[in-house]
Amino acid sequence: MVNSINPFVISGKIPPAYFCDRQEEAAVLEKALVNQMNVVLTSSRRMGKTSLISYVFDKPQIKEEYITINVDILHTTTFRELILALGTAVFESVATRSEKLRKQFVSFLKSLSASFGYDPIQNMPTFDIKLGDVQHPDYTLQEIFNYLESVDKPCLVVIDEFQQITRYPEKNVEALLRTHIQKLSNANFIFSGSRRRLMEEMFFSSKRPFYQSAKPLRLEPIKPEIYCDFAKRNFQEDEKSIDSDAFLHVYNTFWGVTFYVQRIMKDAFAETRVGETCDLEKVQQLIDDYIDENDLRLREQLAFITEAQKELLYAIHAEHEAQNITSMAFNKKYRLRSPSSTQSAALKLLEYDFITRTENTYTISDPLLSLWMSKRNL
C-alpha cells in the first residue's frame, strides 16, 4: 500500500518508524537518564541531537515517569536571558500541568511575583515575564531550581547550545550553574552543544567547574550503509526506488550531515512517482536546486563578515583541510594580508561558526556553505 506521508521528516517530532538508526546512542542516553546521570551531548550542527533527545523522551518509561523540559539558549547573550529562557520553559513544561503546580510556581518565584500576569477567565496566573523583570538572576535561578525540587516527578532538563554561556559578559556563570545543579536531587540535565571544542573545554578540562560532571555522548554521522538501507526501504514501501549510488552521492556531498541528507531525500521522495527510480542525475539536480534556494541566505551571512575574514574563509575552502594558516607560505599562497591578520580573522570565523578547528586543521563548518562557494567559484 502506498504511504500517505513523506517518511523523510526534517522538522518537528519524528515518528519512531521514520527515525533512522541511532539505537545505540538512544540506549546510552536513556540508560544514563534513568540512572540519574547528567549527559553532555555533542555533534556538529544539524546532525540530529534534538531529534535523538525527542526520540528518547518519547520512550514509554521516560514519558510516563519524568517531566521533560527543553531550553534553547542559542540566541541568548546574557545570564539574565538564560534565566528568562529557563523560567519560560519550566513554566510551560511543568507549571501548566495542573492548577496546583501553576500556583506553586508563582509562590516559589518570589523575585518575579510582582511581574506575573493573570487570566481572569481561568482564574490563573500567567507567565508574562519580560527580560527587564529579571532583576536578580542569581536569586531567580535558585527559586526555579527549588521549584523543580518540589514537583511530583523527576525532571529532565535539556539546555540546547549550552556552550553559549561561555560568551556571556557576566563572570562565574559556569561556577554558579554548577553549584546549583550539583545540589539538585529531582532533576538531571542534558547539556547539548554543537561547538565541540568549547563543549570539551567546559566538561573535560580540570580547570573548569563542569569538569567530569556529565557523561559524554558524541553523535557521529549515521553509517552510510545503514542510512542507505533506511532510504531504500522507505522508497520501496511506497512502491518507488532509489539507486544506491544516488543515495551515497547525497550522503557524501553533505558529509553525512543528517538534516541535509534528510532534506534531499525528502525532495527525492516527493519527486519520484510510484513505479519510478530516483537516479544520480535526479539527486544532483535536487542538490543544485537546494543550493540555489539558499543563495540569498548564504549571501546575507557573508555580508556580516569583513573582507579579511572572507579571504581566509575562501582560502580554507580551497584547501579543504587547511593547516599552518598563520605561516608565511599559506599567507603568500592565498595573498592574505599578514599572519597576525589571519590569526584575528580565524578567531572571528571560529566564533561565528563559519569554520571548525581540530588541533591544527581548519575546515568549513557547513557543507552547504562549502557547496555554495564551489558553485560560485569563490
Same domain, 214 and 145: yes
Please give the Cα distance from 308 to 349 (Å, whole number): 10
Long-range contacts of 284-288 (CB under 8 A, 24+ apart): 284/249, 287/250, 287/253, 287/371, 288/375
Q: How many domains does the chain have?
A: 3
Same domain, 93 and 164: yes
With contact defined as beta carbons under 8 Å apart, do 124 and 35 qualify? Answer: no
Same domain, 64 and 194: yes
Map residue 144 onto helix, strand or coil: helix
Residue 358 maps to a domain: yes
Residue 270 belongs to domain with CATH number: 1.10.8
Residue 299 maps to a domain: no
Residue 10 maps to a domain: no
Per-residue pLDDT of the chain (378 residues; tens, 9 = 90+): 555 689 999 988 899 999 999 999 999 999 999 999 999 999 999 999 999 999 999 999 999 999 999 999 999 999 999 999 999 999 999 998 988 998 899 899 888 876 666 677 666 667 777 888 888 999 999 999 999 999 999 999 999 999 999 999 999 999 999 999 999 999 999 999 998 889 999 999 999 999 999 999 999 999 999 999 999 999 999 999 999 999 999 999 999 999 999 999 999 999 999 999 999 999 999 999 999 999 999 999 999 999 999 999 999 999 999 999 999 999 999 999 999 999 999 999 998 899 999 889 999 999 999 999 999 987
Same domain, 239 and 347: no
Q: Where are the beta strands (DSSP E) in 248-294?
A: 277-278
Q: Could you tell me the residue range of the domain that residue 207 belongs to?
A: 22-218
Please give the Cα distance from 51 to 180 (Å, whole number): 28
Same domain, 39 and 185: yes
Q: Which residues of 229-261 are buried (b: 16+ CB within 10 A; e: fewer)?
A: ebbbebbeebebbbbeebbbbbbebbbbbbbbb
The phi and psi torsions of 4 (rounded to 5 degrees) equal -95, -10
Residue 13 maps to a domain: no
Residue 2 maps to a domain: no
Residue 69: which of 84, 90, 55 has the closest Cα? 90
User: Which position has the grid cell 568549513?
Assistant: 364
Same domain, 28 and 134: yes
Same domain, 274 and 329: no
Please give the Cα distance from 63 to 39 (Å, whole number): 18
Residue 330 belongs to domain with CATH number: 1.10.10.10
Point out the domain boundary residue: 245, 265, 293: 293
Residue 4 maps to a domain: no
User: Which position has the grid cell 521514520?
Assistant: 18
Point out the domain boundary residue: 174, 198, 218: 218
Run of H or E including 159: strand 155-160
Same domain, 146 and 252: no
Residue 16 maps to a domain: no
Please give the Cα distance from 310 to 312 (Å, whole number): 5
With contact defined as beta carbons under 8 Å apart, do 185 and 216 qualify? Answer: no
| Cell output for 285 | 539536480
Same domain, 121 and 169: yes
Same domain, 180 and 230: no
Sheet (strand 322-323) strand order: 322-323, 361-364, 355-358
Residue 190 belongs to domain with CATH number: 3.40.50.300
Same domain, 49 and 185: yes
Q: What is residue 157's predicted lDDT score, i.e. its pLDDT?
A: 98
Same domain, 212 and 262: no
Contacts of residue 42, defined as CB under 8 A and 6 or more positions apart, other chains included, come to 49, 192, 193, 194, 196, 199, 200, 216, 217, 218, 219
Please give the Cα distance from 10 to 214 (Å, whole number): 29
Residue 54 maps to a domain: yes
Q: What is residue 4's predicted lDDT score, i.e. its pLDDT?
A: 66
Please give the Cα distance from 83 to 64 (Å, whole number): 27
Q: What is residue 3's predicted lDDT score, i.e. its pLDDT?
A: 56
Point out the domain boundary residue: 202, 218, 234: 218
Residue 268: which of 294, 224, 298, 238 has the closest Cα? 238
| Cell output for 16 | 519512531
